[in-house]
């Protein structure tokens, strides 16, 4: 069976058995700070299992995109070197939310595998939890599996937990026997226990029948559930008769895109691997030394796997960065680039393999097609950036490894590892890998110390937006309210004022029944006109009042578990749970905010028209005073592009287009042309915001009723914030009018000062005059240096090669590097061959120039001498063998520098 048939066959089987087909969720988890990436099929159903959410189905089937490349679940180091580890994989799963349990779950799995997929029963073994007699009996009595093919394992292998507390239960795993060629152990129990490649788990059935109230304290759940997961890659390997996942059609098409470029035959390599399995003593495989063959095959598999994970991550909105998810993506990409370099220095493989993946899987995952340009441009851009430093960093690493080994040291210092990370972009695991290849380990503890220091410096200049109460309390406070009162009804689309009942209060540390004047805390209402921060839009501010005269200032509004949290200060009176309030949003601030939010939608559409459809939102902030919009684009916008975006947006504002809102299913919304933002979570019903034919997006935020209410739009800055991501800041409404009037006044003042309306031309003429004067000054300064006199004082010396030369070390009261460079060349030309060291004098930092005749530059390199001299004075610098420059702060160390100069020439 083809992999596409296996995936669809799995889904179709469960649909026939009453399961709703739920599409894969994004790899970027929503509302779950505990997860780096989606790593299991059950992630998107977590709230269903916890009883926090209800849906219109009790049975579901999915093929879920998963990534395991960071945090607790991290398969990165094994990828390419084992038969079944991947950073990206698809998890096939069927789920029961309080509906069927063990009998049906086991029957479904056995029937699908042995009847629909036709796997011989004698190829399968199952495991159960040691005390789960019920599951063992069902396997034996219901499905007829012999008892000697049912093995019992302990908690470590066959008991599943969601966390320290919460739903948990025993599990039953199904293993496939790949035969003796795949592994040495013939005893299935021992092979399964050892994790051998012969006996591979292809499906895990989790029976959630308990709630763990505290560690070790289990209580039966009233409605037990089922969560199953089977790796598509492993299942396909079994059905295609391949003992290695990488030899299935999920990977071979991708790998062939690289082997074709290299002129290699992939099927020949697969047969060579099989021959090596049969006879591990082979010294050559398909004409190559065995070690080289293994390394080449592993590199191809690393590239194929990493092309899959990076493409899917970028498609779901992740971008390379130096922290968080973006850093994991960067690690994967750079690891792949390095393996590609090992295969060939002439060819680039990742874009090629990503293209093959997109063609292969876009029919199942259309986001690969819609984000194709972004995927390929991000990969190419990251490859270009890393290759610029890879060779230099590799040279430094090899030098350090050579030094370490020459001293008998088998541990690379954390300082070097941090330098490679900080300066050359080497992820620490890549440095580890390259060091291990030469038998050297890495001092990770020291590296982390350096990292902590860097983080501390970064945090010292950052001041975040504070919230009343710690995050843990906010979550529990909102959750308790949700459990008792449900969600907060938001009334703020249609009204900025309305009544509400206080359903919960907090002082920021604990839930309370009342808050008095002077107190700060949190309030939850049954309904509110206050918009809670979300989708980039800031939370509303305003006031609350009661019939008893209490007055409350609302400083911010946020949301947890669909419950609005009003961050408040009680100005007067007392608030009590159960009391009625009048809630009033700050009208002026809301109007400014909605103007900026609607302008953001218009600008997004305009950017896609001007720059291309690869542009997608990568982040946004919508405040009363401004809007900030991050978007995917690989180069700075030109002034003409910025002007065109402004023109398009202001054109739509001037047309006075009504803004319409419709509610529809997510599927219908996308079909109607609405744009969904990557990284956002959408429910079954979505809110579609349309501005004529120009912009149509899914959005839960607040907006103007007509585009004319925005008044005017102006971009005030555009720049890069990370690889492949640009940032625009813009203003609208009264703020934009004031900004434009101020600039107009400035322009008038400039015209008056310049005496002309053409200020630009006047400035250019003045700049030209200044450049001419600077040249004259430098010429005068240079001519005032007694070059002949300095040359006459030169010291004679002999180089290592026996060449005679002359050298001078001179202090000058100059801080202009251009003048110093020109003077050094003039003096050097008088000496021939010559060595000239000039130390200038500046404010705080003193320039240093070293110039060496090319005839002797192989014996005395200017760059090396400059580094030593500058270091002796507390500075640094570098350059070519014949010329180098730098600077140093401590001129009192001139004599130390002079001694280094004298030692170099041996005088």
Which tokens in the block code for residue 23? 């599409």
**Nearest of 535, 69, 80, 559 to residue 318 by alpha carbon:** 69
pLDDT in the model for residue 361: 95
Tokens (6 digits) for 241: 């008769």
Q: Which residues contact 863 (CB under 8 A, 6 or more apart)?
A: 850, 878, 879, 880, 881, 884
Nearest to 881 by CA among 829, 835, 844, 845: 835
Inter-residue contact 694 to 608 (CB < 8 Å): no
Using the predicted structure, report yes or no on whether residue 407 has a pLDDT greater than 90. no
The H or E element spanning position 424 is helix 414-424
Instruction: Quote the mean pLDDT of the chain.
Output: 89
Q: Report helix, strand or coil for 591.
A: helix
What is the arithmetic mean of pLDDT over 203-229?
89
Least confident of 475-489, 594-608, 624-638, 880-894: 475-489
| Omega of the bond leading into 780 within 30 degrees of 0 (cis) | no
pLDDT value of position 675: 82
Please say whether the beta carbons of 631 and 615 come within 8 A: yes
pLDDT tops 70 at residue 307:
yes
pLDDT of residue 50: 72
Element (H, E) at 662: strand 659-665
CA dihedral 781, 786, 791, 795 (to 10 degrees): -100
DSSP-derived letter for residue 794 is: P
d(CA 35, CA 24): 16
Over residues 747-763, mean pLDDT: 90
Cα–Cα distance for residue pair 665/760, rounded to 1 Å = 54
> Would you call 83 exposed, middle or buried from its count of C-beta atoms within 10 A (0-12, 13-18, 19+)?
buried
C-alpha span between 806 and 708 (Å, rounded): 77
Check residue 75 and give its pLDDT.
Answer: 62
842 contacts 830 by C-beta, under 8 angstroms: no
- The one-character DSSP state at 702 is -
User: Highest mean pLDDT range out of 456-470, 518-532, 852-866?
Assistant: 518-532
The residue ranking higher by pLDDT, 648 or 859, is 648
Number of H helices, E strands in the chain: 27, 39
Cβ(592)–Cβ(735) under 8 Å?
yes
pLDDT tens, 852-904? 999 998 889 999 999 999 999 999 888 899 999 999 999 899 999 999 999 88
pLDDT score of 71: 54
**Residue 33: band (very low, low, confident or very high) from pLDDT cuts 50, 70, 90:** low
The whole-number pLDDT of residue 464 equals: 34
- Calculated CA dihedral for residues 832, 837, 838, 843, nearest 10 degrees: 160
Percent of the chain predicted with pLDDT > 90: 60
Whether the CB-CB separation of 712 and 646 falls below 8 Å is answered with no
pLDDT reported for residue 813: 86
Let me know how long the chain is.
Answer: 907
Closest CA to 889 of 849, 840, 850, 819: 840
**CB-based contact 199:177 (threshold 8 Å):** yes
Model confidence at 469: pLDDT above 70: no
Evaluate if residue 462 carries a pLDDT over 80. Answer: no
Contact status, residue 183 vs residue 190, Cβ threshold 8 Å: no
pLDDT of amino acid 468: 41
């030094």: which residue's tokens?
403
Q: Which run of H or E residues covers position 412?
A: strand 411-412
- pLDDT over 90 (residue 34): no
Q: How much is the average pLDDT of 267-282?
A: 93
Taking the C-alpha atoms of residue 822 and residue 22, their distance in angstroms, rounded to an integer, is 72
Residue 441 has pLDDT above 60, yes or no: yes
pLDDT-based confidence at residue 806 (cuts at 50, 70, 90): very high
pLDDT at 706 over 50: yes
Residue matched to tokens 């709630």: 211
Could you please report the per-residue DSSP string of 61-83? EEEEEEE-EETTEE-GGGTTTSS
3-state secondary structure 759-786: HHHHHHHHHHHHHHHHHHHHHHHHHCCC
* pTM of the entire predicted model: 0.69
Pair 494, 455: CB distance under 8 Å? no
Q: Which residue, chain included where needed, has tokens 């709703």?
A: 20
Helix segments in 425-520, DSSP class H:
428-436, 444-460, 471-485
The answer to whether 548 and 580 are in contact (CB under 8 A) is no
| Closest to 338 (Cα-Cα) out of 290, 386, 388 | 386
362 close to 322: Cβ distance less than 8 angstroms: no
Task: Name the E strands within 526-573.
Answer: 527-528, 542-545, 551-560, 563-572
Q: Which residues are 728's β-sheet partners?
A: 629, 718
Q: The dihedral of CA 886, 890, 894, 897: what is its sign?
A: negative
Neighbour count for residue 122 (Cβ, 10 Å): 9
Nearest-CA neighbor of 296 among 354, 255, 331, 357?
255
pLDDT at position 758 over 80: yes
Tokens 């080449």 belong to 296
Number of Cβ within 10 Å of residue 475's Cβ equals 14
Burial of 789 (0-12, 13-18, 19+ CB in 10 A): exposed
What is the predicted pLDDT for the residue at 681? 63
Q: Which of 315, 327, 318 has the alpha carbon at shortest distance from 430? A: 327
Name residues whose C-beta falls within 8 Å of residue 359's C-beta, 6 or more positions apart in sequence: none
Q: Are 309 and 67 in contact (CB under 8 A)?
A: yes
**Per-residue pLDDT tens over the stretch 312-348:** 999 998 888 877 888 889 889 989 998 998 899 888 8
Q: Per-residue pLDDT averaged across 650-675, rounded?
A: 90
Where is mean pLDDT largest: 72-81, 292-301, 768-777, 807-816? 292-301
Residue with more model confidence, 676 or 678: 676
Contacts of residue 557, defined as CB under 8 A and 6 or more positions apart, other chains included, come to: 528, 530, 531, 532, 533, 539, 540, 541, 564, 565, 566, 567
DSSP conformation letters of 127-178: EEETT-HHHHHIIIIIT---GGGEEEE-HHHHEEESSSSEEEEEEEEEEEE-
Cα radius of gyration (the chain): 34
Judge whether residue 89 has pLDDT over 60: yes
User: 625: Cβ–Cβ under 8 A, 6 or more apart, which residues?
Assistant: 592, 731, 735
Work out the pLDDT band at 308, boundaries 50, 70, 90.
very high
What distances in angstroms separate CA 693 from CA 244, 340, 606, one per listed residue?
51, 45, 12
Q: Transcribe 344-371 into DSSP letters.
A: -SS---HHHHHHHHHHHHTTT-THHHHT
Contact 623, 538 (CB under 8 A): yes
Of 134, 145, 69, 148, the closest CA to residue 103 belongs to: 134
pLDDT of 460 over the 60 cut: no
CA atoms within 13 A on the CB side of 744: 6
Is the distance from CB of 672 to CB of 696 less than 8 angstroms? yes
DSSP assignment of 168-236, as one string? Answer: EEEEEEEEEE--TTT-S---HHHHHHHT-SSEEEEEEEEEEEEEEEETTEEEEEEEEEEEEEEEHHHHH
Q: What is the rounded average pLDDT of the residues 42-47? A: 84
What's the CA gap between 161 and 210, in Å, rounded? 10
């Amino acid at each position: 069976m083809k992999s596409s048939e296996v995936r669809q066959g799995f889904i179709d089987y469960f649909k026939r058995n009453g399961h709703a087909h739920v599409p894969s969720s994004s790899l970027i988890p929503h509302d779950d700070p505990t997860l780096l990436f989606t790593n299991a099929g059950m992630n998107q159903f977590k709230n269903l299992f916890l009883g926090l959410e209800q849906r219109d189905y009790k049975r579901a089937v999915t093929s879920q995109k998963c990534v395991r490349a960071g945090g607790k679940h991290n398969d990165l180091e094994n990828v390419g070197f084992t038969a079944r580890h991947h950073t990206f994989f698809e998890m096939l799963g069927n789920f029961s939310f309080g509906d069927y349990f063990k009998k049906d779950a086991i029957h479904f799995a056995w029937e699908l595998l042995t009847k629909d997929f036709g796997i011989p029963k004698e190829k399968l073994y199952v495991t159960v939890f040691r005390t789960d007699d019920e599951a063992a009996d069902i396997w034996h009595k219901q499905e007829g599996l012999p008892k000697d093919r049912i093995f019992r394992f302990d908690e470590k292998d066959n008991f599943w937990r969601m966390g320290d507390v919460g739903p948990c239960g025993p599990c039953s795993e199904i293993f496939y026997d790949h035969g003796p060629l795949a592994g040495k152990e013939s005893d299935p129990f021992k092979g399964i226990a050892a994790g051998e490649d012969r006996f591979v788990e292809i499906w895990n059935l989790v029976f959630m029948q308990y709630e763990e109230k505290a560690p070790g304290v289990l209580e039966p759940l009233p409605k037990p559930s089922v969560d199953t997961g089977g790796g598509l890659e492993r299942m396909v390997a079994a059905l295609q008769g391949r003992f290695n996942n990488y030899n299935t059609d999920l990977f071979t098409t991708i790998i062939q895109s690289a082997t074709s470029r290299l002129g290699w035959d992939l099927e020949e390599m697969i047969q060579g691997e099989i021959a090596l399995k049969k006879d591990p003593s082979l010294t050559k495989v398909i004409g190559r030394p065995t070690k080289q063959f293994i390394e080449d095959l592993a590199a191809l598999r690393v590239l194929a796997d990493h092309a899959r994970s990076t493409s899917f991550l970028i498609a779901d909105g992740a971008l390379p960065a130096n922290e968080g998810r973006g850093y994991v993506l960067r690690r994967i990409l750079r690891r792949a680039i390095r393996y590609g370099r090992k295969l060939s220095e002439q060819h680039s493989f990742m874009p090629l393999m990503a293209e093959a993946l997109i063609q292969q899987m876009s029919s199942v995952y259309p986001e690969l097609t819609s984000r194709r340009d972004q995927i390929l441009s991000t990969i190419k851009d990251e490859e270009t950036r890393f290759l610029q430093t890879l060779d230099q960093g590799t040279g430094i690493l090899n030098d350090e490894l050579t030094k370490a080994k020459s001293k008998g040291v088998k541990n690379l210092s954390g300082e070097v590892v941090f330098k490679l990370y900080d300066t050359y972009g080497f992820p620490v695991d890549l440095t580890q890998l390259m060091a291990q290849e030469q038998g050297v380990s890495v001092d990770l503890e020291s590296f982390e110390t350096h990292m902590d220091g860097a983080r501390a410096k970064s945090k010292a200049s950052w001041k975040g937006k504070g919230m009343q109460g710690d995050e843990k309390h906010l979550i529990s406070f909102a959750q308790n309210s949700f459990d008792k009162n449900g969600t907060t009804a938001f009334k703020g689309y249609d009204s900025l004022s309305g009544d509400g009942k206080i359903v919960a209060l907090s002082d920021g540390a604990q839930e309370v029944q009342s808050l008095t004047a002077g107190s700060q805390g949190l309030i939850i209402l049954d309904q509110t006109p206050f918009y809670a921060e979300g989708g980039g839009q800031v939370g509303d501010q305003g006031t609350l009042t009661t019939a008893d005269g209490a007055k409350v200032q609302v400083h911010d509004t946020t949301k947890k578990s669909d419950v609005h949290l009003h961050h408040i200060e009680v100005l007067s009176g007392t608030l009590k749970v159960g009391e009625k309030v009048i809630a009033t949003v700050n009208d002026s601030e809301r109007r400014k905010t909605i103007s900026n939010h609607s302008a953001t939608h218009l600008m997004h559409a305009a950017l896609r028209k001007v720059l291309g459809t690869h542009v997608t939102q990568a982040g946004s902030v919508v405040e009363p005073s401004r809007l900030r919009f991050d978007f995917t684009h690989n180069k700075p916008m030109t002034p003409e592009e910025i002007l065109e975006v402004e023109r398009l947006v202001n054109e739509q504002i001037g047309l006075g287009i009504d803004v319409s809102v419709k509610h529809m299913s997510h599927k219908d919304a996308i079909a109607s042309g609405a744009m969904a933002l990557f990284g956002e979570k959408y429910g079954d019903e979505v809110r579609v915001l349309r501005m004529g034919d120009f912009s149509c997006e899914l959005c839960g935020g607040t907006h103007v009723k007509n585009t004319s209410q925005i008044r005017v739009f102006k971009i005030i800055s555009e720049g890069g914030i990370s690889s492949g991501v640009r940032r625009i800041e813009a203003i609208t409404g009264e703020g934009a009018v004031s900004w434009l009037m101020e600039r107009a006044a400035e322009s008038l003042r400039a015209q008056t000062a310049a005496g002309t309306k053409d200020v630009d031309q006047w400035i250019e003429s003045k700049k030209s005059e200044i450049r001419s004067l600077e040249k004259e000054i430098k010429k005068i300064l240079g001519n005032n240096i007694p070059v002949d006199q300095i040359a006459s004082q030169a010291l004679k010396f002999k180089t290592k090669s026996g060449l005679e030369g002359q050298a001078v070390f001179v202090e000058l009261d100059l801080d202009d590097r251009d003048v110093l460079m020109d003077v050094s060349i003039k003096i050097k030309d008088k000496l021939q061959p010559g060595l000239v060291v000039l130390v200038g004098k500046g404010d705080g930092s003193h320039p240093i120039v070293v110039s060496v005749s090319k005839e002797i530059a192989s014996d005395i390199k200017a760059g090396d001498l400059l580094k030593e001299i500058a270091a002796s004075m507390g500075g640094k610098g570098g350059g070519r063998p014949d010329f180098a420059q730098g600077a140093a702060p401590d001129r009192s160390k001139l004599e130390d520098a002079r001694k280094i100069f004298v030692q170099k020439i041996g005088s």
